């Protein structure tokens, strides 16, 4: 009975807020779970404080974890799930750059990496600006741009838009102009971002915005922000368990400008040199494979393609996974490895699925072929030797973390780096008793692991 009364009371509060055009929500960003035990303590303190305040929901604007590891994502979810009101989460570059699952664990735990919901005449939208396995800068995927366009086109121009994204919508995101231009069709819009760890006002080409402080204390007090919306006004108050100051007041009204958002001359000149023959409208990570005037490739949405070199689609197949790897050609088959731990064998002629071999752990590093042996590095630190004649799989653990880059095959060796700080040289023969020829490291810092770069070798057998 007590729980029912409490819920009724909360509904009454929300109803009063909506009728009056007033909404309060908590805004957390850059929690970096996994960076230290203090990060967990800080987030727990923030969650406890939010639960004692009259807010309608919580938005988390990225860098939820330090390295995007599965254990970090699970722990962050456990802490955020203590919130007694709804919460909405988007990833940041720390969640996507080192992800051992190819960014799929975030989706599994939090349901999605974007969101949209409505309160009164406010529309709250969150999109991902983290680049899968690439750098600290930002990019909005073509899938998210199309999704955002579709959602915004359904709204009238008087709808008040609150957009959440991790990176600033300026030079931090290479295609930020494509988001800004979509927001400019509305009279009211505001952007909240993380990434910089400090409270800071912004103006993104006429669209006002703000950066929020990190939840981390780091020698000081942890904290977050409370955002209050009242008709077309926005107030932001920092909660740091000391002064709790209102540091931002403004209107959601856009500042109209006759100036158009300008792209850099560099990107314009580069685009003139390229001739587009096909648009998959999806994100591609690895280059494809050209064979007999056909191009084979796959994308992060789970699509596998075959084109002729004029851009005509021969066939396309869909699988419920993401593909980060470059395909392998074997006889009449084309082979792809997915983040679901499956190795897919398709007929080159028509895309017919011939078979699936299960590895059981995410695959991001591209496989290599040694005669009739497919060699796959999986993200549990194992190398998997798959006989293409018998389909038998021999698994041997050689490393402590995940693989990412395209391996180098040289004579009797395969050379590849791992996020455990080491560069490995292993035998191409699974029967060798000493599978690892050597392993090398220069720096024990995780962030300097030789994992993202594909090794090369010169004529003096020096590996770079």
**What confidence score (pLDDT) does residue 259 get?**
43
pLDDT digits over 295-319, tens only?
999 999 999 999 999 999 999 999 9
**Cα within 13 Å of Cα(111), Cβ side:** 8
Sign of CA pseudo-dihedral 422, 426, 432, 438: negative
Tell me what pLDDT residue 12 has.
47
Instruction: Please check whether residue 295 is in contact with residue 289, taking contact to mean a CB–CB distance below 8 angstroms.
Output: yes
Please, are residues 90 and 126 in contact by the beta-carbon 8 Å criterion? Answer: yes
3-state secondary structure 290-301: EECCEEEEECCC
Q: From the centroid of its chain, how far is CA 464?
A: 28
Tell me: the pLDDT tens digits for 223-238? 999 999 999 999 999 9
What is the pLDDT, as a whole number, of residue 191? 98
- Per-residue pLDDT, 444: 84
Q: How far apart are CA 324 and CA 379, in angstroms?
A: 12
Domains, the chain? 13-258 (3.60.21.10), 273-403 (2.40.128.630)
| Cα 414 to the center of its chain, rounded Å | 29
Please state, in angstroms and rounded to a whole number, the distance separating the CA atoms of residues 31 and 223. 10
**pTM (two decimals):** 0.90
What tens digit of pLDDT does each residue of 164-184 get?
A: 999 999 999 999 999 999 999
What is the bridge-based pairing of β-strands 436-440 and 313-318?
unpaired
Residue 342 reports pLDDT greater than 90: yes
């Amino acid at each position: 009975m007590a729980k029912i009364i409490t819920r009724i009371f909360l509904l009454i509060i929300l109803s009063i807020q909506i009728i009056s055009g007033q909404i309060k929500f908590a805004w957390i960003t850059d929690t970096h779970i996994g960076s230290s035990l203090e990060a967990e303590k800080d987030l727990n303190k923030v969650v406890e404080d939010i639960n004692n305040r009259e807010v309608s929901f919580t938005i988390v604007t990225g860098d939820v974890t330090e390295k995007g590891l599965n254990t970090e994502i699970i722990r962050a979810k456990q802490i955020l799930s203590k919130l007694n009101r709804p919460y909405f989460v988007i990833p940041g570059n720390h969640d996507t750059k080192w992800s051992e699952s190819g960014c799929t664990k975030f989706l599994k735990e939090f349901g999605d990496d974007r969101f949209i919901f409505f309160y009164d005449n406010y529309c709250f939208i969150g999109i991902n600006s983290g680049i899968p396995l690439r750098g600290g800068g930002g990019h909005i995927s073509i899938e998210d741009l199309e999704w955002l366009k579709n959602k915004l086109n359904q709204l009238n121009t008087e709808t008040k838009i609150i957009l959440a994204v991790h990176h600033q919508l300026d030079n931090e995101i290479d295609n930020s102009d494509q988001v800004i231009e979509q927001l400019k069709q509305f009279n009211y819009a505001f952007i909240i971002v993380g990434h910089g760890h400090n409270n800071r006002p912004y103006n993104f080409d006429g669209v006002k915005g703000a950066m929020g402080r990190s939840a981390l204390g780091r020698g000081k007090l942890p904290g977050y922000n409370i955002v209050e919306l009242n008709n077309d006004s926005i107030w932001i108050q920092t909660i740091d368990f000391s002064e709790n100051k209102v540091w931002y007041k403004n209107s959601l009204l856009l500042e109209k400008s006759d100036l158009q958002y300008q792209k850099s001359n560099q990107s314009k000149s580069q685009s003139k040199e390229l001739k587009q023959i096909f648009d998959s409208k999806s994100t591609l990570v690895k280059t494809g494979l050209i064979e007999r005037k056909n191009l084979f490739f796959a994308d992060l949405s789970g699509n596998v393609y075959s084109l002729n070199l004029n851009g005509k689609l021969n066939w396309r197949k869909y699988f419920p996974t993401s593909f980060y790897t470059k395909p392998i050609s074997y006889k009449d088959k084309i082979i792809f490895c997915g983040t679901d731990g499956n190795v897919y064998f398709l007929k080159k002629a028509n895309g017919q699925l011939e078979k699936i071999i299960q590895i059981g752990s995410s695959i991001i590093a591209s496989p290599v072929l040694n005669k009739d042996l497919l060699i796959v590095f999986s993200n549990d630190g194992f190398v998997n030797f798959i006989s293409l004649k018998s389909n038998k799989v021999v698994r041997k653990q050689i490393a402590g973390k995940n693989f990412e880059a395209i391996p180098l095959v040289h004579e009797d060796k395969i050379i590849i780096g791992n996020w455990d700080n080491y560069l490995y040289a292993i035998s191409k023969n699974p029967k060798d008793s000493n599978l690892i020829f050597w392993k090398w490291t220069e720096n024990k810092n995780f962030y300097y692991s030789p994992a993202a770069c594909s090794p090369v070798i010169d004529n003096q057998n020096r590996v770079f």
